[in-house]
Amino acid sequence: MKRNIMYRLKKKGLNTVGLCLLLGGTTLQANEPTERFDVDMYGSIRAQAEIVRSDREDLLNSYEGFRDSYSRIGLKAHYLINDEITLMGQVEIPLDVANFKIQGPFEQNKRDGDPGDYDDIIYDSLRIGKVGVETKNFGSLYFGQMWIPYYNAISYPVDVFSTYYAGYATFSNFRLNKTIAYYSPAMNGFTFSLAWSKENGQAEENGEFDDRYQATISYAWDQTHIALGLDNQGGMYDSKILAVALSHTIKDVAGGDIYLAAKYEQFKSDKQSGYGEDGSSSKNFLVTYTKDALTYKAMIADTDNYGEGVYHLGVDYQVRSDLKLFVEYYHEDQTAAITTKRGGVSDTVWNSGGGNVYALGFRYDF
């Protein structure tokens, strides 16, 4: 399923602190940017209080607790070669503020080296680690661990919620390592992207992992955007995901804006049952309404073999440009996102039958 990252940042305290000091020191040196070179340090603290009610109390206890909602700190650097070409680099580290660790709240507690374990692809000590070349007329090329083109085109339009439970109603990975990705410039409203990820596909019969290939094409006009995507994961079942996503914004409705988005994904494979079976699908429909500082959100989704029926409601309140408050309700028919108190994917009780979540949280950006 998922494989090793380009390089790994160790969770040992001194190593992590040393890296953060290095990033901070670099940023201080860049406080007086030149016309050619700039470095920006950024971060986001996101956390929630939650009430979780399991549908199978005999398998997973209900609880009240505190959970991180994908906090992170990062560094971006750009070097302008000329008016046409820019070199870039980015490193982004997760901060699990609920567990007081440098790890992703989802990827935590991995068992390194277990066949098929999520740790084979996404380590808990790095979100993004990439370098790239960006041009005005010929597109952009990136290498490393990054958000993948398929996710950006297909899943991102419906991934708008603020809690830990955002983004689960999809077949897509979010980020992959050992990836080369190309994004084209816009051409009469059309753009396309291509990606190759070494050993990030499905497992072969011999236990080795296949390479993974992605392609998307998008068209945007006015307030409407449509995208088609292919995620070829290969492996013993020759797995592929075909997808389409559509979004549209309606401006100035009773003083606010309505955003509508939908996506459809379908597996094509030789697998006959379980996750990734041939013909299984993931369907989402989302609507949001933003007026002044408030955004209301509602999504209904159905993802076969991963959550099944999902209902997600939320309200965001933008207190100021760097501070947001949010409240959400999340329901899943079968277990996908709900796990143990402050736990991650390795703690998930997959047969616990889903449940309901009530969450209240904040996001502070800096």
pLDDT tens, 138-179?
999 999 999 999 999 999 999 999 999 999 989 989 999 999
Amino acid at 146: M
Q: Is residue 95 part of a domain?
A: yes
Locus of tokens 């990734």: 276
Could you give the dihedral angle defined by the CA atoms of residues 90, 96, 101 and 102, in that order, rounded to the nearest 10 degrees? -10
Q: Residue 157 gets which letter from DSSP?
A: G
Give the tens place of pLDDT for each residue, 82-136: 999 999 999 999 999 999 999 999 988 665 444 444 444 445 578 999 999 999 9
Q: Is residue 3 part of a domain?
A: no
Q: How far apart are CA 169 and CA 67, in angstroms?
A: 20
Percent of the chain with pLDDT over 90: 83
Q: What is the pTM of this model?
A: 0.85
Q: Is residue 327 part of a domain?
A: yes
Q: How far apart are CA 362 and CA 325, in angstroms?
A: 4
**What are the residues facing 289 on neighbouring strands?**
258, 296
User: How would you label 304-319 residue by residue, b for 16+ Cβ within 10 Å and e otherwise?
Assistant: bbbbbebebebebebe
Q: Quote the domain boundaries for residue 152.
A: 13-365
Q: Give me the number of domains the chain comprises.
A: 1
| Interval 186-212 mean pLDDT | 95
CATH of the domain at 156: 2.40.160.10
> Is 284:299 a contact under the CB 8 Å cutoff?
yes
Amino acid at 70: Y
Q: 80: which residues sit within 8 A by CB, 6+ positions away?
A: 35, 36, 37, 86
**CA nearest neighbour of 146 among 79, 217, 56, 214:** 214
Q: Is residue 6 part of a domain?
A: no
Residue 34: pLDDT over 90: no
What would the two tokens of residue 359 be?
Answer: 């969450």
Split at pLDDT 50, 70, 90, the class of 289 is: very high
Q: Is residue 8 part of a domain?
A: no
